[in-house]
Amino acid sequence: MPRPAVSLRDRFIDWRNRLVANPRFQRWSARFPLTRGIARRKAGAVFDIAAGFVYSQVLGACVELQIFERLRERRADAAELARECGLAEDPMRRLLLAADSLQLLERRGSHFTLGELGAAVLANPGVVAMVEHNRWLYRDLTEPVALLRGEHSPELAEFWPYATGNDGDAERYSELMAASQSMVADDILDAADLSGRQHLWDIAGGNGTFVSHALNRWPQLKATVLDLPAVAALANQNFARRGLSERARSVSGDMFKAPLGDEQGKAFGKPDVVSLVRVVHDHNDDAVRTLLSAIRASLAPGGRLLLAEPMAESVGAETFGHAYFGLYLFAMGSGRPRTAEELLAMLADAGFRNGREVRTYRPHMVRVLLAEA
């Protein structure tokens, strides 16, 4: 079998890598004035990758000790915060200095206040929920090669019923889903106009957070959430608490079978829009194809599919896709990150037309695809 042609770009990359891997070149580039800055930046980038776990634990400790909340409207020194958090002063100061170096906090003399990134964490409660949840993933990644070889059973897989088919602790994972969906719901709805739609089906919609945002924005809209039995019960409780029971309900059913839902779920008529919010990347390719076909069969001609999730190879957020979600979903035991192009091709294969991406304000958190039946 003939070898594939090697492009000039590939030849250049091979030459560059051999050069950079040479210790003599590394020493020379660190001293030469024209390359010194580049060499330092690249060395710093490698160190940041190696130290990334430590950085994440600094953030985790600040969240667990509620450092950001404590400094929301004041400054405090290490001794004061140590007393409040039940730590000795020296370890507290080490944590505060570490957080300052990561821009989570800002040091002002002997006192500390919120840094720019710490303030951003306060503005997004879903970030706090994900930081707390990531402890499961970090335990699974203690021995990453063992995880990749399948030599131990990941704890993370036990958390998500969508991977195991078991309701498990519905309230716990529903709260996490709600926190993460609250971060992106308005971004999605800013991108996808539902003003002309009457009945929204939200597939695997958890406790109804996304649907509640949609109903508050468009008064003509009614909605049905489809999820596991224990989750559906929680969603109906939330709809009642929010005064939305006349316009929203949640039913249990198999999202991989068409037509979707049961007779109770059809009380508002056939859906003219179906949403998949942070759902597709949780499932393997065959399951996604089955799901998209079931949705296509459940929509009348002209019905719309709204697919929203973080996607692989997003410009400016390249590490989110394959690095974070790639390993997260592997530990979960189901799914993979996909590019927008891969998802659009799967939509077309399922019979959808006019598939396209619509712009969101924070594509590193969520991107949105629309398609018609």
Structural domains in the chain, sorted by start: 23-122 (1.10.10.10), 127-372 (3.40.50.150)
Predicted confidence band at 358 (pLDDT cuts at 50, 70, 90)?
Answer: very high
Distance from C-alpha of 96 to C-alpha of 107, rounded to nearest angstrom: 8
**Cβ distance 367 to 360 under 8 Å?**
yes
Q: What is the pLDDT of residue 169?
A: 56
For residue 337, pLDDT over 70 is answered with yes
Task: Give pLDDT, residue 170.
Answer: 59
CA angle 183/184/190 to nearest 5° reads: 130
Ranges 41-55, 152-166, 275-289, most confident: 275-289
Mean pLDDT of the chain: 88
Residue 2 pLDDT greater than 80, yes or no: no
| Sign of the Cα pseudo-torsion (173, 174, 179, 181, in order) | positive
Weakest-pLDDT range from 25-39, 142-156, 194-208: 25-39
Tell me the CA distances in angstroms from 227 to 3, 161, 170, 221, 266, one per residue in order. 50, 11, 11, 20, 15
Helix (H/G/I), strand (E/B), else coil: 47: helix
pLDDT tens profile 288-314? 999 999 999 988 889 999 999 999 999
Given a cut of 70, whether residue 262 has pLDDT beyond it is no
Calpha distance 316→201 (Å, rounded): 32
Name the burial class of residue 286, with classes exposed (0-12), middle (13-18) and buried (19+) by CB atoms within 10 angstroms of its CB.
exposed
Q: Which range in 169-173, 236-240, 297-301, 315-319 is most confidently predicted, on average pLDDT? A: 236-240
Q: How many CB atoms lie within 10 A of CB 104?
A: 26
Instruction: Return the pLDDT at 167.
Output: 54
Residues 205, 265 contacting (CB under 8 angstroms): no
